[in-house]
Structure 1
Amino acid sequence: MFIFDAHLDLSMNAMEWNRDLTRSVREIRDSERGMTDKPDRGNNTVSFEAMRKGNVGLCMATQIARYVHKDNALPGWNSPQQAWAQTQGQLAWYKAMEEAGELVQIRNREQLNAHLERWKTSKEKIPIGYILSLEGADSIVSIDYLERSHAQGLRAIGPAHYGPGTYAHGTNSVGGIGAKGKALLKEIERLDLILDATHLCDESFWETMDHYKGAVWASHNNCRSLVNHNRQFADEQIKELINRKAVIGVALDAWMMVPNWERGKSTPKSMGVSLQQMADNIDHICQLAGNTLHVGIGTDLDGGFGKEQSPFDLDTIADLQKVPHLLAERGYTPEDIENIMSLNFIRFLQNTWQ
């Protein structure tokens, strides 16, 4: 089945983890044997080969570079200009992958439909489609930089990531969006960008909903009723997104899938983390919506974690092909499953890009 993954940090892996995604997953793991600078070394799950094997022919691919104020203990860049430069380096890598025939950037409805048709009918290896997304807006030095990013192909943006940001408060922080956040939302609307509500803390989420009237989704967000942490959305937030015709992508980071995960101590096997929890989150959103039209796949695979913090029944991203069977076992119809695996996000883009 064709899969749309609404959140992959491809350029971060290439530029900060120094992974050559044109290699196989096994080759990348072998090249990292003995390395200890990152907790997920040797445990990666994503490569272009694995994406093609899993029929992941389209994704939201991120730029990500956090600016941290001197009082912020989180890792990141010490100025917004440095963060902007990092996102530009990531963009240069995407362009290099286009020239290498591995990726093709999708910017509009016509390109989207043409890519889907080509992927379905071509007998040759074709580039994987990617749509540019910005995770956390701190690299937007000033509002006019957003128009530059839009001209480069940016089509979705999350105002916050972790902690307090320039434009909103994110995961594990408390606060609203302020004047800068409101100005950013106004520009997002003007440019017809998609606002990604993922990572917004509760106060910033509700303030954003009060001030923003454009297209909104959540690319990689699970359910707080299943894992009680501010990183997940409460049922009231999910219902708000459903009412706004949003789609919510379900993520595969183990600590978001089961309660009481201890980083560096818990293992997927010991905690029973499997793709069944992905199905649980999908099912919960469907029950809240009363249909299968508001949930999709947003794995966040290799988003700073690997097999050590992923479902034990997933070796590479290609194993997403196990999910349709799990949903069918729960009574989901072939049409339902196709909605979840790709069509909900695709229809959202087609409608937004009219």
Structure 2
Amino acid sequence: MKRLIIDAHLDLAMNAIEWNRDLSRPLEEIRQRELNMPDKPDRGNGTVCFPELRRGKVGLVVATQLARVASPGSKFAGWHSPQQAWAMTQAQLTWYREMEVLEELVQVTDLAGLEQHIDLWNSEAIPDEQKPIGYILSLEGADSLVNIDYLYKAHADGLRAVGLSHFGPGRYAPGTKAVGPITSAGLQLLREMAKLHLILDVTHLTDEGFEQAIDLYEGPIWASHHNVRRFVPNQRQLTDDQIKKLVARGAVIGGMLDCWAMDIRFIDGISDPWQLDIKLAKLVDHWDHICQIAGNCHHIGVGSDLDGIFGTEQAPWDMHSVADLQQFEAILNSRGYKEEDIDHIFHGNWLRFLKRAWSTADA
């Protein structure tokens, strides 16, 4: 029997709206439709769709809204105003709602809904292929929040996690490939997020921003899709000291499957995962390192980031689709992880985190 998996980072709506992928269709059909399309780097190489999520028993995901604002002269792509970025996130939200109408997805926003959904996926009364996939709404980069009032609008629509930054300069915090602290607007946003008991996602923050967030934020914190800087020395990765601070806060760190974040040899657009023999097991090296620091396996999980502007051309070569996350059971077994450890990594750690965060929010 397959184990339930929670994936804490999937850009589902971005793929549906900006990549124009009908995620309700079979994966091979999506790939076939994209043959000879040159507009995106991963055309024809996608790994995520609803049938594959169900086949892999990925029953609950953290699904993003994502729209960055680009200032004049920025080398990073983005919208030219916060209002345009907000409009894009609303298009993405509308797509999630349409998937709810089709019973492909169901939104999970509180402890009661979480427990009900997990019970559904643990039940054998209904085949997995007939179950809706649960999604927790997360905002990856806060640029699209025109002002603080928009945070409350988003929360009313079910937003439950927020990352302040993405790539480059940001309205609330600089992110990957940038430097500097959280902005004054970002500090105000953190205060309002705490009032709403929102989860702060520290992924993509600069080192300075990370330290501020850990020191200042009073609510729950996680790192939805992060690997280890000791193995891949890049600012996008977590240092040992950062890992220690996240463990002390009770955070969970989601391992991501972008090859450059798994193996220092991989270069985007140049390297080939097969030639470098980058396999799913490489991520377990990162997980092992975090477990050694924490002293247990209670702070790691899956945050795959699959199809986050990359597909099979930049993912482990032994992974055909998101359903292959199930291969981690055999890999972890071979590394000496116990049965209960594997359950923790597949879903238990994220569940424990959410139950604690949301029981406090409901109190």
Classify the TM-score, shorter chain: over 0.9
Mapped pair 1:67 → 2:72: no
What are the Cα deviations for residues 209-258 of structure 1, in whole angstroms up to 9, with x where unaligned?
22112100000000000101001010100110000000000000011111
In the alignment, is the contact (CA less than 8 A) between 2:4 and 2:121 conserved in 1?
A: no
Residue 178 of structure 1 and its aligned partner are, at CA, apart by 2.5
2:166 equivalent in structure 1: 161
What is the distance in 2 between the residues matched to 1:340 and 1:132?
Answer: 21
In the alignment, is the contact (CA less than 8 A) between 1:258 and 1:271 conserved in 2?
A: no
Residue 157 of structure 1 and its aligned partner are, at CA, apart by 0.4
1:238 equivalent in structure 2: 243
State the secondary structure of the residue aligned to 2:8: strand
What is the distance in 2 between the residues matched to 1:247 and 1:204?
Answer: 18
Residue 19 of structure 1 and its aligned partner are, at CA, apart by 0.2
Mapped pair 1:327 → 2:359: no
Residue 260 of structure 1 and its aligned partner are, at CA, apart by 3.1
What is the distance in 1 between the residues matched to 2:144 and 2:265?
Answer: 33
Mapped pair 1:193 → 2:198: yes
What is the distance in 1 between the residues matched to 2:191 and 2:38?
Answer: 43
What are the Cα deviations for residues 294-318 of structure 1, in whole angstroms up to 9, with x where unaligned?
0100000000000000000000000
Structure 1 gaps of 5+ residues are none
Instruction: Report the TM-score when normalising by structure 1.
Output: 0.99
2:260 equivalent in structure 1: 255
1:184 equivalent in structure 2: 189
Percent sequence identity is 53
Residue 76 of structure 1 and its aligned partner are, at CA, apart by 0.7
2:211 equivalent in structure 1: 206
2:97 equivalent in structure 1: 95
Between 156-165 and 268-277, report the one with greater CA deviation: 268-277
- Equivalent AA in structure 1 for residue 349 of structure 2: N
Please list every run of at least 4 consecutive aligned residues from structure 1 whose deviation after the TM superposition is greater than 3 angstroms: none
- Equivalent AA in structure 2 for residue 79 of structure 1: S
What are the Cα deviations for residues 30-75 of structure 1, in whole angstroms up to 9, with x where unaligned?
0001111101000000000000000000000000000111132200
What is the distance in 1 between the residues matched to 2:183 and 2:41?
Answer: 35
What is the distance in 2 between the residues matched to 1:264 and 1:118?
Answer: 41
In the alignment, is the contact (CA less than 8 A) between 2:171 and 2:183 conserved in 1?
A: no
State the secondary structure of the residue aligned to 2:274: helix
1:16 equivalent in structure 2: 18
State the secondary structure of the residue aligned to 2:307: coil
1:307 equivalent in structure 2: 312
> Aligned Cα RMSD in Å?
0.7
What is the distance in 2 between the residues matched to 1:173 and 1:260?
Answer: 22
Instruction: Report the TM-score when normalising by structure 2.
Output: 0.96
- Equivalent AA in structure 2 for residue 17 of structure 1: W
Residue 22 of structure 1 and its aligned partner are, at CA, apart by 0.4
Mapped pair 1:123 → 2:126: yes
In the alignment, is the contact (CA less than 8 A) between 1:40 and 1:305 conserved in 2?
A: yes
State the secondary structure of the residue aligned to 1:347: helix
Residue 137 of structure 1 and its aligned partner are, at CA, apart by 0.4
State the secondary structure of the residue aligned to 1:219: coil
2:150 equivalent in structure 1: 145
Between 83-92 and 281-290, report the one with greater CA deviation: 281-290
